[in-house]
Amino acid sequence: MIVTVVNQKGGVGKTTTSVNLAYVLSKTHNVALLDLDPEGGSTASLGIRRSKAELKLGERSVNVQGIELFYAHVGLLNLELSGEVESIVQGIKELSKSFDYLVIDTPPNLGTLSLSAMMAGDRIVVPLTPHPLTLEVTKNLGERLASLKKQAIAFTNMSTKPVQVGFDTVKSTEIFVPPSKLFTEASRLGVPAVKYEEVRTKKPRIAPAFEALAKVVVS
Gyration radius of the chain's alpha carbons: 16
- State the Cα torsion 128-210-101-169 to the nearest 10°: -30
Q: How far apart are CA 6 and CA 108, in angstroms?
A: 8
Q: How far apart are CA 22 and CA 34, in angstroms?
A: 10
Any idea where the domains of the chain sit in the sequence? 2-218
pLDDT lower than 70: segments of the chain: none
50, 44 Cβ separation under 8 angstroms: yes
pLDDT of residue 131: 85
CA angle 2, 155, 122 (to 5 degrees): 15
pLDDT of residue 135: 79
Q: What is the pLDDT of residues 111-129, one digit of tens each?
A: 999 999 999 999 999 999 9
Q: How far apart are CA 151 and CA 125, in angstroms?
A: 9
The pTM of this model reads 0.97
In the sheet that holds 67-70, the strands lie side by side as 62-64, 67-70, 31-35, 101-105, 2-5, 123-128, 152-157, 170-177, 166-167
HEC-encoded secondary structure of 95-124: HHCCCCEEEEECCCCCCHHHHHHHHHCCEE
pLDDT of residue 45: 97
pLDDT of residue 1: 98
Scanning 51-163, the segments in alpha helix (DSSP H) are: 75-82, 85-96, 112-120, 132-148
Q: Is the dihedral of CA 87, 150, 178, 63 positive or negative?
A: negative
pLDDT of residue 219: 92
The fold of 2-218 is Rossmann fold (3.40.50)
pLDDT of residue 166: 80
